[in-house]
Structure 1
Amino acid sequence: MYSLGIDTGGTNTDSVLVDPLTKQLVGYGKAPTTHYNLAVGIENSISDLLSSTELKKPIGMVSLSTTLATNSIVEAKAREVCLILIGHPPRKEWDELPAKFVRVIGGKFDELGREEEPLDIDALDPILEEVDAHVEGYAASGYFGVRNPSHEQRVKEYIQSRTGKPVVCGHEFTAQLGLYERSVTAALNAGLIPVINELLDSVKQSLARFGISAPLYVVKGDGAIVSEAVAREHPIETVYSGPAASAVGGFHLTGRRDALVMDIGGTTTDVVELVDGMPKVIPDGAIVGGLKTRVRAIDAITFGFGGDSLIEVGDTIKVGPERAVPLKEFELAELIRRTGAVSFYVRRSAEGNEVLTNDVVGCTYSRDELSQMLRRRRIERVALTPSDILCHRGLLDGNVESVRAALEVMAERTGTDVEQLTERIEGAIMDALSRNVRYRGEWIVGIGAPAPQFVPALATTLNKHHVVPEHCEVANAFGAAVCSIMESVDIVVSRLWEMEQEEEQYIVHTPTETLVYEKLLDAIHAAVDIAKQLAIERAIRAGAASPEVKTERRDHVVMIDNTRFFLRSVITAKATGKAAPLAVEKLRDPKNV
């Protein structure tokens, strides 16, 4: 069977067929990303793939890498939700919470998970009467909710029974303290559920039109994949899905276990460090749209440089972060030489593309109308880009005369010649790349369509080794196709400190209850067993077959009068495995019999 990997990037949507046993790419397709409806670009990409690839095996699974969650947060396109804070009002120092309605009800635990204030469940009735008609989901986050989640669980059950709408709890994503971060994570997730549901429904409809009924997986922000069902419940975990797929693809295409993966796309460049073959992960949670979360995601740097970055030439040369359609895509040489203009607009429609001058656009649309059209990409700016410079150098196909005409006009305005101007622009391009790279290692892995042209020169500038693998232009989709499943669970064991206490007691804080033990080793053993079981259950629900689990223990102690006192221990269980369709295929391989 084949694994179908799909990546929706800022400029293009790529799809690949991969043989999961050999990790060989069988075929690939490309299509422009349709931001008004991502499913259209996905369907066009799959159509391009299937029209040029002979299917010798059935498609056994589909894995999707998508920027939808990240972009929805950054562009404030998540749906309206109500955040219920249990036991604590918003603090003055908190940044704005991502919820249209924030309401507080009574109920509180202490740091050991003991109830200090009972839950005021009746306070939910007037809140629901007030807000339910205006929201599409709810989030619940309680004071020390990770030490005892029972209040959050009761609120979730109550709201679901009354409204039937999705409810997300802060303890579902982390065992770490931090009421603000957990509240942000829960609220963002609640707002993303309708958004991800619409995308996955559309993707499944598109797949059905091609006769593809294979199970659907989604790439998470840590480089693992999850089943469609889990992605629908926890879409916040798919933030940075694109850069994560890039890093995985860079590793599998090169075998470099320790390297800096640079994915140079049309709009942005993503930089991710590989450590022992895995993307480096932010330990305390990702920052998304300026909001601190408790989402496990890769430590990625994304900046506005790509093959389609806008180049502005004046006393200085600016590259990006704005995007433009390259001049090389159109026959513009005559228009450029006649008018002296070097930037235009293109209006997209079902009938085709229409190039418009700035004057025509200014007379046709108001500033607000133009801004909305640009945001929806119904109209796009056409101007000089790094891709045009590559075309001028003979490294990319395109209308070289359009590019040459623009460079001639710009050179004349700046009092130089075309060659000198081109060299200045190339220096500015390299500066835009190198100033965003800080890496002490030796190897740079370049992926993305422009990587073969830019990464070798960048590596020389930074005195690094480099490798640009075959199929680098579809490395993201390849990474999506070969990702594995990994689910982790943290269980905290706390020591109960009481002055009048005669016997030691240790509390195990699980996602469903708190357990008390008199001996530390008993508590640790229980925590390990529970963590392993939960990790395996989550991995299986994420789509893994026969996951393997490993645990680690981190103790926190204090020194008092040269004596070590145990405070708490964090038990982490990680369950990993292949997606079920891949595991079945491996069993069928004669080499494994």
Structure 2
Amino acid sequence: MFTGIDIGGTNTDIAVIDSQINTYKVPNTDGLDNALQKISSYGRLAISTSQPLNEIITGHTADIRTITIPGPGLVYPGAVKGSVSHRGDIVEPIDPEEIKKIMKGQHARAIAIAGKFSVRNDALEKQVYDIVSQFYSDEQIALSYPIGALNFPARIHTTKLNARIKGKVASLIRQIQRVNPDFFFVTSTGGLTSPARALDNPMLLFHSSPATVANGAYYLTKNENCLVIDIGGTTTELVPLKDGKPILETVVLEGAKTMIKAVSAMSIPFGGDSCIRSDLCPFRAGSSRSFGGGEPTLTDALNVMGARIGDAERSEVLDHTTAQNVVHRYLDMVASAVKEYHPEVLIGTGYLAHYLLSDIAERAQTVGIVPEHAASANAVGAAVSKVSLEVHIHVDSERKRLTLNGISYPYKDTRDEEDLLSYATELVREIARKEGAPEEDIEDIEVLYFSSYDVVRGWRVTAKITNMVLAIAPGISVEAL
């Protein structure tokens, strides 16, 4: 049995997939604990949440203190003494007194620690962490080495973002584990990750809802090339699918690249709970009147035009002309955005898809489909997703050193590059197995990058340096097909 939960801005959606699909909606006002109590502890649970995204939107960068270990001659904000070479050797130790001096009287909300080559040797970052943890709790400290990739500026930026949301993610993990000890999070690419890995790199969860919608729409329709339009309570998301998978792109936040990939999506800041004042507003002020709210919304406008959503009589504070103008404005705006993608098929999801998709498709001059369970397609997508990994691997034959995302693993002498790749592949599979991935989902390991070169000294080869990126691609679990 597969259970998926998507915690949206208005409702928490639940999908339970066994011999059939059953979906439910729970208002967020009822609380996540109430939603968790409605599901069985049997089977696999996957959760998608917008809480880390909301924390990024509302948080403040100035609240984060960054400590960097760039090495001699490199200038970065928060730089301290200490250096790791590109081969993972400690060239210069940290100065513990320098770190203590920084921390005394520190009033930052959280601390981000990043070393230039910590993904080759994490020792200095951990030493700084040990000192900082005397002043701050673990939930307030983010390290950079679990991110895995070398790009130092992007890794610093990602670590600062991780520091901002780590406390929120830790609190969410505790809340869920009180009811369901074993579960997965859905990542921004549509794969699943363990709570432990999410806590090491919380930005993996950034904006996961478009990913769950993409997986859910494909699972429900099997349409490989289309545009998914998810009409939620707060926003409307457009997510293109190509060959059955969403398109991934590097996340850029606050003008800087991060080390995180996410599903490509266009977000329109209008949804079913967008309130109506003099016009349709790009924000919500609570639930629609038809669901007990105080201000009229797009959902209420649809009721005035003939829909029967919730307590439709409470929507009649709107006059017909205003309601019609608001709905037509929304339809024209969304259809204009849809036309930019030139889709042959438009898949509608979200609780208003049944009421709006046909008009959007007509205006965009395309074919529209609203599948069964469309209102909770995001939860369906969470339920059927599979464990995914992207692992950055560094191998140094002279140092007998092998690291995966900054963590040391047993080195093994190998005959050739093919033998080394085979060993690294099995290490990645073992990580996935420990996180609960079934064998069928980890058979295919993608090689995203591979580079190997000789180190020559005194006219002879003294070492071979190999860098590779291996991945278990996100998507739908074989067990769910």
**What TM-score bracket applies, with the shorter chain setting the length?**
0.7 to 0.9
**Contact 1:326-1:388 within 8 A present in 2 as well:** no
Residue 189 of structure 2 aligns to a residue whose secondary structure is: coil
In structure 2, distance between residues paired with 1:11 and 1:170: 33
Q: CA deviation at 1:324?
A: 4.1
Change (3 A) 1:75 1:119: same
Distance 1:219 1:460 in 2: 33
Give the structure 2 partner of residue 428 of structure 1: 329
- Once the two structures are TM-superposed, the CA of residue 537 in structure 1 deviates from its matched residue by 3.5
Summarize deviations over 1:48-69 as a string: whole Å, max 9, x none: x56xxxx8xx622322111111
Structure 1 residue 235 displacement after superposition: 2.3
Structure 2 counterpart of 1:60, which letter? Answer: G
What do you get for the CA RMSD once the two structures are aligned? 4.2
Q: Which of 190, 195, 202 is equivalent to 1:223?
A: 190
Q: Which residue is equivalent to 1:357? A: none
Distance 2:10 2:73 in 1: 39
Residue 155 of structure 1, CA deviation: 3.1
Distance 2:277 2:228 in 1: 28
The corresponding residue for 2:144 is 170
Q: Which residue is 2:468 aligned to?
A: 571
Tell me: CA distance 1:139–1:230, structure 2 relative to 1, closer, same or farther (3 Å). same
Residues 194-221 of structure 1 show CA distances to partners (whole Å, capped at 9, x for unaligned) of: 222222222333x3xxxxx562211111
* Distance across 1 between alignment mates of 2:226 and 2:476: 26
Equivalent residue, structure 2, for 1:31: 26
- Specify the alignment match of 1:319 in structure 2: 280
Counterpart code for 1:181: A
Quote the residue 2:174 is aligned against: 201
* Corresponding residue for residue 305 of structure 1: 270
Provide TM-score, normalisation by structure 1. 0.67
Partner of 1:126: 101
2:258 aligned to which of 259, 283, 293: 293
With over 3 angstroms needed to count, the CA separation of the structure-2 counterparts of 1:435 and 1:15, relative to structure 1, is: same
**Are residues 554 and 293 of structure 1, via their aligned partners in 2, closer, same or farther at CA, if it must alter by over 3 Å?**
closer
Q: Deviation of residue 136 (structure 1)?
A: 6.6
Q: How far, CA to CA, are the matches of 2:426 and 2:280 in structure 1?
A: 51
Residues 190 and 474 in structure 2, CA contact (< 8 A), matched pair in contact too: no
Q: Secondary structure at the match of 1:449?
A: coil
What's the counterpart of residue 389 of structure 1?
Answer: 301
* CA apart distance, 1:329: 2.1
Counterparts of 1:32-181 in structure 2, within 5 Å, are 32-34=27-29, 40-46=30-36, 59-76=42-59, 81-87=64-70, 103-108=78-83, 118-131=93-106, 134=107, 138-146=111-119, 149-156=122-129, 159-160=132-133, 165=138, 167-177=141-151, 179-181=152-154
Larger radius of gyration: 1
Output the amino acid matched with 1:25: I
Number of equivalenced pairs: 465
Whichever residue aligns with residue 264 of structure 1, its letter is I
Contact 1:262 1:445 in 2 (8 A): yes
Task: Report the AA paired with residue 371 of structure 2.
Answer: P
Query: Residue 165 of structure 2 aligns with which residue?
Result: 192
Distance (Å, rounded) in 2 between the aligned partners of 1:573 and 1:489: 5
* Cα distance, 1:391 vs structure 2: 1.0
Counterpart CA distance in 2 for 1:154 and 1:436 is 50
Q: Deviations over 1:390-432 (max 9, x none)?
A: 2123223355555455216xxxxxxxxx3xx554333311122
User: Does the 8 Å CA contact 2:186/2:193 hold for their aligned counterparts?
Assistant: yes
1:551 correspondence with 2:453: no
SS at 2:161 equivalent: helix
Say whether 1:329 aligns with 2:303: no
- Quote the Cα distance in structure 2 between the aligned partners of 1:79 and 1:579: 39
Q: Given the alignment, which residue of 210, 233, 247 partners 1:243?
A: 210
User: Which stretches in structure 1 are left out of the alignment for 5+ residues?
Assistant: 35-39, 95-101, 208-212, 331-352, 354-379, 409-417, 495-504, 558-567, 587-593
Q: Deviations over 1:126-152 (max 9, x none)?
A: 223343xx4575432123444554533
SS in 2 for 1:69: helix
SS of the residue 2:358 aligns to? helix
CA displacement at 1:4 relative to structure 2: 2.4
Can you give the 5+ residue segments of structure 2 that lack an aligned partner in the other structure?
A: 453-464
Q: Counterparts of 1:155-554 in structure 2 under 5 Å?
A: 155-156=128-129, 159-160=132-133, 165=138, 167-177=141-151, 179-205=152-178, 207=179, 213=180, 215-282=182-249, 285-288=250-253, 292-313=257-278, 318-324=279-285, 328-329=289-290, 382-383=295-296, 385-398=297-310, 400=312, 403-407=315-319, 418=321, 422-437=323-338, 438-491=340-393, 511-512=406-407, 522=416, 524-525=417-418, 528-529=421-422, 531-546=424-439, 547-552=442-447, 554=449
Q: 1:9 to 1:288 in 2, by over 3 A?
A: farther
- How many Å separate the matches in 2 of 1:453 and 1:83? 49
| 1:514/1:476 CA distance change after superposition, 3 Å | closer
Superposition deviation, residue 116 in structure 1: 6.3
The alpha carbon displacement at 1:125 in A equals 2.8
The offset of 1:86, in angstroms, is 0.7
Paired with 1:227 and 1:78, the residues of 2 have a C-alpha distance of: 27
Contact 1:489 1:531 in 2 (8 A): no
Distance 1:579 1:439 in 2: 24
Q: Does the aligned pair in 2 maintain the 1:444–1:459 contact within 8 Å?
A: yes
Q: Deviations over 1:221-276 (max 9, x none)?
A: 11111223333333221111222211111111111122222111011112222232
What's the offset of the Cα at 1:112?
A: 6.2
C-alpha change, 1:164 and 1:204, in structure 2 (3 Å) is closer
Q: Do the aligned residues in 2 keep the contact of 1:532 with 1:549 (CA within 8 Å)?
A: no
* Deviation of 1:85 (Å): 0.6
Q: Distance in 2 between matches of 1:241 and 1:90?
A: 39
